[in-house]
Amino acid sequence: MQGNGNAAPLLEIRGLKTQFATDDGMVRAVDGVDLAIGRGETVGVVGESGCGKTVTAMSVLKLIAMPPGRIVEGRILWRGRDLVPLPADAMDEVRAKEIAMVFQEPMTSLNPVYTVGEQIAEVVRRHEGLSRQAALEKAVHMLRLVQVSNPERRAHDYPHQFSGGMRQRVMIAMALSCDPKLLIADEPTTALDVTIQAQILELLTEMKSRFGMAIMLITHAMGVVAETAQRVVVMYAGKVIEEAPVERLFANPRHPYTQGLIRSIPQIDKAAIAKTRLEAIPGVVPSLINPPPGCRFAPRCRYAMAICREAVPPLREVEPGHKVACVL
């Protein structure tokens, strides 16, 4: 799944560095990330809290608060055009119409004093210039698409009248209302119960086959990625450390961190047969203010050698489509 053969990728991030100024020093939240997403492709971005996956996504949409944040280096090529130097009004055009985003917490990302119909309609009016009436009709149509029952009536309800799963459906309806080419979903199911999570993942897959957009799925849950993504990018402490097609990544993880991440998850099927001790990764994620020199994972890595602590290993291709940043 390398995009569409010869076609240029939809989104190509090259050497992105995003930093935040804090009282304690400069936090290198994203530190040289390369990432590409092809047309209609679903790419999972996984990693633990603080690895820079959300900041990468926010940088693409330029939703980083500046200051304290700043994109220090790198290019974000959207269909060949660099978004980094783009002025605010041009960026507004890109948001929603071309790239839309769904956030983790559907309660805080909806405005509590407007009905959900008004909120979806506002997006449509702003970006597609529809009349108030036509926009509201479009909102109802979108709510129906995401399987909100009785959408004509529900459009007049306020966010607090919806459950968590329903709110996430509303967010997805809003994100898709202007027919974007890329949907960034940042932990879209993390706040939801498993049965509702299954419904939302199903909905995303269905919407994808209907609208044909690409999806950048950010999550910490390896299981969610395994079930929905075609390609997976693993991040650790602000860097991409491995990238591979989903089957390859789970069958043959090459980076010790990815291996640890996969093994530290209790597995229902396997555990039932033989109860084994979980393989925990010792230690904690390093500080991004003074990251360790060399490989960021070296202090927790059981295979670490002297060379790992000296130079940052580059991301190199070990087989077609499978890239690893590890000297081993």
Partner 1 sequence: MDAKAPATAEPLLRVEGLTKNFVIGGGLFSRAPDVVHAVDNVSFTIGHAETLGLVGESGSGKSTTGRCVLRLIEPTSGKILFQNIDVVRLNSGALRSLRRDIQIIFQDPFASLNPRMTVGSIIGEALTIHDLARTRREFSERVVELLETVGLQADHMRRYPHEFSGGQRQRIGIARALAVEPKLIICDEPVSALDVSIQAQVINLLEDLQQKFGLAYLFIAHDLSVVEHISRRVAVMYLGRIVEIASARDLYASPRHPYTEALLSAVPVTDPGKRRQRIVLQGEVPSPMNPPTGCHFHTRCPIRKLPLCSEVVPELKQTSSGHMVACHLRS
Pick 178 or 249: Cβ nearer partner 1: 249
How many helices (H) does the chain have, and how many strands (E)? 11, 12
Pick 103 or 297: Cβ nearer partner 1: 297
> Which residues, other chains included, contact 7 with Cβ-Cβ below 8 Å and sequence gap of 6+?
38, 39
As measured in angstroms, the least distance from the Cβ of 242 to partner 1 is 15
As measured in angstroms, the least distance from the Cβ of 129 to partner 1 is 36
As measured in angstroms, the least distance from the Cβ of 50 to partner 1 is 9
Cα angle at 51 between 50 and 54, to 5 degrees?
A: 80
Structure tokens at 272: 């039932």
As measured in angstroms, the least distance from the Cβ of 187 to partner 1 is 13
Pick 86 or 226: Cβ nearer partner 1: 226
Other C-beta atoms within 10 Å of 303: how many? 12
Distance CA 70, CA 87 (A): 15
As measured in angstroms, the least distance from the Cβ of 214 to partner 1 is 18
Alpha helices by DSSP H, listed for the chain, are: 53-60, 88-94, 116-128, 132-145, 151-154, 164-176, 194-211, 222-228, 246-251, 256-263, 268-273
Pick 165 or 294: Cβ nearer partner 1: 165
Pick 160 or 275: Cβ nearer partner 1: 275
Pick 80 or 282: Cβ nearer partner 1: 282
> Burial, 124: exposed, middle or buried (Cβ in 10 Å; 0-12, 13-18, 19+)?
buried
Alpha helices by DSSP H, listed for 82-193, are: 88-94, 116-128, 132-145, 151-154, 164-176
Instruction: Name the residues that contact partner 1, by CB under 8 A.
Output: 48-49, 163, 165-166, 193-199, 201-202, 220-224, 226-227, 246-247, 250-251, 260-262, 264-269, 271-272, 275, 277-282, 284-285
As measured in angstroms, the least distance from the Cβ of 7 to partner 1 is 25
